[in-house]
Chains A and B, each alone.
Chain A
Amino acid sequence: MLDENFEVVVIGAGPAGSRTAALTARAGLSTLLLEKRKKIGFPVRCAEGIGPREEVERFLDLDDDLISSTIDRFAVVSPGGRRFEAEKRGIGFIVDRELFDRRLADLAAEAGAEVRTSHQVTGLLRNDHRFTGVEVTDLGSGRSYTAGALVTAGADGVESISPRWAGLKGAYRPREVMSGAQYLIDGMETDDRKIEFHLGRRFAPGGYAWVFPKRPGTANVGVGVNPEMAGGLNAVDYLERFIKSRCPGAGRGRLVVGGTVVARGLPSLAAGGFIAVGEAANQNNPFSGGGIINALEGADLAAETAVEAIREGDVSARSLGRYTKKWKKSTGRANELFWHAARSFYAMEDDEMEKIIAKLKDTPGLITDTGVDPLRILRVLVSTRPGLVFRLVPALVKR
């Protein structure tokens, strides 16, 4: 017998989970949001960069207390040290990610979701037809219990074991997880309205190094590397190298490390009674690793589908599969293009990358209102690697 019953149980109170829970609760469904951490949003595992206001405010008000700095400019530095600079007012924000995540969880609670921290999901329940809820351990008391659900949403982030339990994916290959490390650096030379991306094997093989300013003189300075290209070094080793070059002698605050999923989209995001959302569902942008906004977008589609399915009384894989379709038609499509672009771009030797960056620099329309246009990147990549076009055809014509 089940200890408790809900219409929706959500695993993980990151952006994906909190947003999903807020929407299902707002639609009147009884919703339980389970988070294993003691404190939502802490510790932060993020560079805290996020898109323009219109984009963020589709999901929550970007109140002043959430904003550390407003970004109007960015620089891409090539392996050889050439700079590509562009300006676009309000192209993004550096946020206080801890507050950001807490705000989203508060919105879920205000909508009527029951939020439990220090409660870890340890398994999924199932009957012959579908997944029917979760096994939970209260880490405070050590007590274990079961909670039934018509729909369980796995929003458990990078570790994301729940979609594995549901058979939607396996373990990641190392190259599918960008390995990241970052210090909050104090007393460095920065333009507090400009973000920087540094490319090349020296600082970030298969990824990039970044400077995201939090306030004048203070920035998140980090690197993300492809573990299979790192030659036996780890992200912290590369970070040391980058700091030595970019801001030697500056003061160091908190160290942030973590992995980000940069894998290709999943074929299916739903099983009977189960949906995967956010990073757990490979919804991050595979080119940048960015996943906050994508997690919120995924949550909107996931919650909308879960609400419909529960109202119709059909939470089968087929019914919940509408969510996969919606995702693939929207951000999933852009992500597929970004994935192809990333695969070619980050594998390049420094000299080839140098040439590509020079070409990108002269590409009109590369910068859109919400970031970069994957098609423009691909066009430039195809111009130097014509073979790529064959791999791209399915991504371009399908759907």
Chain B
Amino acid sequence: MKEAHSEIDIDRGKCIVCGACSAVCPGEALIIEGMTLRVYPERCRPCGQAALVCPTGALHCPGEE
């Protein structure tokens, strides 16, 4: 359904900065700082898990199925 991604890709128009992805990302690669979602690509494992949880479909991660 989703295309393969080689790095964390956020559609800023869709992201509402809810932090759901942050709760799931094991590497702490996705961190809510103040009112923005900050990405630390070097910490990405990659596991693809966080993208599943995103309620808006704003997030794509490497390793996603």
A interface residue numbers (CB < 8 A to B):
36-38, 43, 45, 118, 120, 139, 157-161, 164, 170-174, 177, 179-181, 227-228, 230, 232, 234-237, 255, 257-259, 261
B interface residue numbers (CB < 8 A to A):
1-2, 16, 18-26, 28, 31-35, 49-50, 52-57
Complex Cα gap A177–B33 (Å): 20
Minimum Cβ distance to chain A for residue B2 (Å): 7
Known contacts A139-B33, A255-B16, A259-B18, A171 near B26 by CB under 8 Å: yes
Query: Are A45 and B18 touching (Cβ within 8 A)?
Result: yes
Query: Are B55 and A161 touching (Cβ within 8 A)?
Result: no
Among A158, A230, A232, A234, point to the contact of B56 (Cβ < 8 A): A234
Minimum Cβ distance to chain A for residue B36 (Å): 10
Query: Are B49 and A173 touching (Cβ within 8 A)?
Result: yes
Among A120, A164, A179, A258, point to the contact of B33 (Cβ < 8 A): A120
Among B2, B20, B34, point to the contact of A177 (Cβ < 8 A): B20
CB-CB nearest in chain A for B47: A171
Among B2, B31, B49, point to the contact of A174 (Cβ < 8 A): B49
Query: Are B56 and A120 touching (Cβ within 8 A)?
Result: no
Query: Are B57 and A179 touching (Cβ within 8 A)?
Result: no
Known contacts A36-B34, A232-B2, A179 near B53 by CB under 8 Å: yes
Known contacts A170-B26, A174-B24, A234-B57, A258 near B18 by CB under 8 Å: yes
Known contacts A234-B54, A235-B56, A120 near B34 by CB under 8 Å: yes
A-B pairs with the 7 shortest C-beta distances? A259-B20, A232-B1, A235-B55, A171-B26, A257-B55, A258-B18, A159-B19
Known contacts A172-B23, A177-B20, A259-B19, A159 near B32 by CB under 8 Å: yes
Other than the given A160-B23, A258-B18, 15 more pairs (CB < 8 A) read A38-B34, A120-B33, A139-B33, A139-B34, A158-B22, A161-B28, A164-B28, A181-B55, A227-B52, A234-B56, A236-B55, A237-B57, A255-B16, A257-B16, A259-B53
